[in-house]
Amino acid sequence: MTNSTMDDIDLRILNCLLERADLPHKEIGQRVHLTGQAVGARVRKLQELGVIEGYTIRWNPDKIGLSVHAFVTVFMTSNHAHQTFQSFVQHKEQIVELHRVGGEGCYWMRVRVGTQAELTALLDELLQYGNYKVSLSIGQMK
Amino acid sequence: MTNSTMDDIDLRILNCLLERADLPHKEIGQRVHLTGQAVGARVRKLQELGVIEGYTIRWNPDKIGLSVHAFVTVFMTSNHAHQTFQSFVQHKEQIVELHRVGGEGCYWMRVRVGTQAELTALLDELLQYGNYKVSLSIGQMK
DNA sequence: TAAATTCCTTTCATTGTGAAAGTATACAGC
DNA sequence: GCTGTATACTTTCACAATGAAAGGAATTTA
């Protein structure tokens, strides 16, 4: 790898892939005026640079019954519970995203569950680590 | 398509794809004891059901200079501003996710920008619609 | 028991992909 | 100003992945 910096074409390829990662390189190539092979080489470069981390699917959790989508801010009550809290979170598959935050609270997390009852149960467990604030998503606009 | 219900194999395929959507169907097939073609048929079924919405990439905004990752809760001050607020958000590419929420505030949004100054500028613009609370992600654990 | 249905496998044609070789352009050093 | 080197592309080619079609096993329905 030579040039470790991204140009405008790389950005356009990135945008194409974000929108539709199953697009053939040849078709992306038509949009950025390159052959499929050249696109392939750039994509490989972007992966080596760590810009592209991997391929995934966009999906709809609602369709498999995960209709409750909550944002939870956690306020830790003890300074010593961080380790156990984090391992607690890691093995809870309902918690699909976790960030350490500065500002409001200590952690921010996204939760996906099937029922209100399941959410309540999770929140009850959370109490061993601290307090929380919950917001429920009632519609995604973007 | 006949059976509109998902079975355990479908779920396992879904998980494979969430982890690595570029895995060949043949290889997924080995994990769930099916041929590649059978996996392909199931994936097509999941797309028709709307469970799978499309293919994307996982990427690292940090690597292209988007190092500020903020969670913003918006408290609207007027009941009439929702329309203009939503179109405002739609054409701001720094706002990468937006939800209407119940609980804390009216909207929750995820913001990706390069600098604190850029965040400040965005928050200033937000003031025409309402107040806000900001948290900055200082590390993603999941 | 026979017919229909579902879901799979096998086979095959088409398409996508990555490696290799060749070409054009830019740039450094003599 | 020329030559060597590097970069990034295109073309060619072999291989792998994919989807369509046909056929088979197991289950359901009458």
- pLDDT, residue B131, reads 97
Confidence of residue A5 (pLDDT cuts 50, 70, 90): confident
Using the predicted structure, report yes or no on whether residue A118 has a pLDDT greater than 80.
yes
Mean pLDDT value across residues B4-8: 85
Q: Give residue-wise pLDDT tens across range B21-64.
A: 999 999 999 999 999 999 999 999 999 999 999 999 999 999 99
Does the domain at A61-136 match CATH 3.30.70.920? Answer given as yes
Mean pLDDT value across residues B8-12: 97
Q: Verify whether the Cβ–Cβ distance A60 to B71 is below 8 Å.
A: no
Using the predicted structure, report yes or no on whether residue B3 has a pLDDT greater than 60.
no
Using the predicted structure, report yes or no on whether residue A25 has a pLDDT greater than 90.
yes
Q: Verify whether the Cβ–Cβ distance B53 to A56 is below 8 Å.
A: no
- Most B CBs within 10 A among A42, A87, A131, A142, hence the mutation to make, goes to A142
Q: Verify whether the Cβ–Cβ distance B103 to A11 is below 8 Å.
A: no
Mean pLDDT value across residues A68-94: 95
Using the predicted structure, report yes or no on whether residue B4 has a pLDDT greater than 80.
no
CA–CA min distance A123, chain B (Å)? 15
Confidence of residue A92 (pLDDT cuts 50, 70, 90): very high
Q: Which residue among A58, A98, A135 places its CB closest to the CB of B56?
A: A58
Element (H, E) at A138: strand A130-140
Strand partners, A137: B101
- Contact, A40 CB vs strand C, < 7 Å: yes
Mean pLDDT value across residues A109-128: 98
Does the domain at A8-49 match CATH 1.10.10? Answer given as yes
| From-to residues of CATH 3.30.70.920 in chain B | 61-136
**Distance (Å, rounded) from C-alpha B63 to C-alpha B66?**
7
The number of C-beta contacts closer than 8 angstroms across A and B is 179
Q: Which residue among A51, A64, A71 places its CB closest to the CB of B108?
A: A71
- Contact, A58 CB vs strand D, < 7 Å: no
Neighboring chain A residues of B90 at a CB cutoff of 8 Å: 141-142
Q: If you measure CA to C1', which residue is closest to nucleotide D6? A: A2
- Contact, B83 CB vs strand C, < 7 Å: no
Q: Is A82 exposed, middle or buried (0-12, 13-18, 19+ CB in 10 A)?
A: middle
Q: Verify whether the Cβ–Cβ distance A101 to B17 is below 8 Å.
A: no
Other CB atoms within 10 A of residue A122 CB: 19
Which residue stretches of A79-127 are H helix?
82-90, 116-126
- Alpha carbon A39 to chain centroid distance? 25
Neighboring chain B residues of A54 at a CB cutoff of 8 Å: 20-22, 57-58
pLDDT above 90 as % of chain A: 93
| From-to residues of CATH 1.10.10 in chain A | 8-49
Burial B117-135 (b: 16+ CB within 10 A, else e): eebeebeeebeebbebebb
Using the predicted structure, report yes or no on whether residue B2 has a pLDDT greater than 50.
no
Instruction: Give the nucleotide with minimal C1' distance to the Cα of B28.
Output: D17
Q: Give residue-wise pLDDT tens across range A122-138.
A: 999 999 999 999 999 99
Using the predicted structure, report yes or no on whether residue A140 has a pLDDT greater than 80.
yes
Burial B19-53 (b: 16+ CB within 10 A, else e): eebebebeebbeebebeeebbbebbebbeebebbe
